């Protein structure tokens, strides 16, 4: 069985953050899970160390062809194709953007600057949030906050996996100019624990990620769907906690993921925070009409 034909290596339950959790209305969950399956399957191809760069690109082309109805080669793309056909408001745009990021992963192993990393996130992370917003019929005015939050989650994942990405794929998402400014060669990612220079670089990236999270925290107040507002509040709360963990712990030698009980606990904090915000908005006085 080829890499394209294989089932995705991970389900949505294995992520750092909720994916179509029970907070989301049941009728909205199916297309989101179909999108996740597509994303995970394509990501597995891009991260397959047994494939050459060209084989990865060919596999991703098969994902695109299957999504667009030109092939049946990639089973993981079929549920999303069906979801798009069932809801004409949805388009393939956000899935195709993801493939752009995975094609970058197939051939690119270094990122020169934070701006270059953010360009990658514009294709690897932002489309995920935008698709969820489209499923809910939300306005594109919510995209800026969503992009920031999704990019923060992506960078958090990069920091958590920085050692494994380097060892297994020779891929380094940590910006090269940031590492250089801290006098931290990429080879330090192979150390059993982060040397001081690498720790300094990680701290600076944590600080940049905190700014993105702050921007993303506006999202729960911008979406109209109450259940989605709760979901995004949970995600923002978890992102803030994970970024704090990365500030306090060494991703080369310590656990930087949340346990399931901790995830549930911080999710509850996010829900309470969102409900409080919704209550404040509902009690706020209406603006007076102009006379």
Output the six-digit token pair for 53: 């760069």
Q: CA-based angle 90:57:44, to the nearest 5?
A: 70
Look over the chain and give the mean of its residue pLDDT values, rounded to a whole number: 89
The Cα 153–Cα 156 span in angstroms is 5
Block residue for tokens 């999202």: 219
pLDDT of residue 271: 52
Per residue in 162-188, pLDDT tens?
A: 999 999 999 999 999 999 999 999 999
In this structure, what DSSP letter does residue 73 have? -
User: Which CATH number is correct for 109-275, 2.70.98.50, 3.30.70.660, 1.10.3720.10, 1.10.600.10?
Assistant: 1.10.600.10
The Cα 160–Cα 257 span in angstroms is 8
Range scoring the smallest mean pLDDT among 31-45, 65-79, 137-151, 272-286:
272-286
Name the nearest CA neighbour of 150 among 184, 122, 117. 122
The model scores a pTM over 0.85: yes
Block residue for tokens 């109450």: 226
Output the six-digit token pair for 273: 């925070």
Evaluate if residue 272 carries a pLDDT over 60: no
Output the six-digit token pair for 64: 């695109």
The Cα 280–Cα 287 span in angstroms is 15
Q: How far apart are the first and last CA of the chain?
A: 72
The Cα 172–Cα 164 span in angstroms is 10
Q: Domain map of the chain by residue range?
A: 24-91, 109-275
């Amino acid at each position: 069985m080829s890499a394209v034909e294989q089932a995705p290596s991970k389900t949505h339950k294995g992520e750092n953050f909720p994916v179509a959790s029970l907070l989301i209305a049941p009728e909205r969950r199916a297309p989101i899970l179909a999108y996740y399956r597509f994303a995970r399957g394509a990501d597995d191809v891009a991260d397959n160390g047994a494939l050459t760069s060209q084989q990865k690109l060919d596999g991703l082309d098969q994902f695109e062809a299957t999504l667009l109805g030109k092939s049946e080669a990639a089973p993981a793309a079929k549920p999303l194709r069906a979801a798009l056909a069932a809801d004409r408001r949805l388009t393939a745009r956000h899935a195709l953007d993801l493939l752009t990021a995975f094609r970058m992963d197939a051939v690119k192993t270094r990122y020169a600057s934070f701006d270059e990393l953010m360009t990658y996130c514009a294709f690897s992370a932002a489309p995920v949030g935008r698709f969820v917003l489209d499923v809910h019929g939300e306005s594109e005015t919510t995209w800026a906050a969503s992009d920031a939050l999704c990019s923060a989650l992506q960078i958090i994942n990069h920091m958590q996996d920085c050692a494994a990405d380097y060892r297994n794929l020779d891929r380094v998402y940590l910006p090269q100019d940031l590492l250089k400014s801290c006098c931290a060669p990429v080879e330090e990612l192979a150390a059993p624990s982060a040397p001081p220079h690498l720790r300094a670089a990680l701290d600076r990236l944590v600080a940049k990620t905190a700014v993105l999270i702050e921007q993303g925290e506006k999202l729960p107040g911008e979406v109209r769907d109450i259940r989605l507002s709760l979901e995004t509040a949970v995600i923002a709360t978890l992102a803030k906690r994970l970024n704090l963990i990365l500030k306090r712990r060494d991703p080369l030698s310590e656990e930087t993921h949340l346990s399931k009980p901790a995830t549930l606990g911080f999710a509850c904090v996010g829900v309470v925070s969102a409900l409080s915000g919704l209550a404040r908005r509902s009690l706020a006085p209406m603006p007076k009409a102009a006379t």
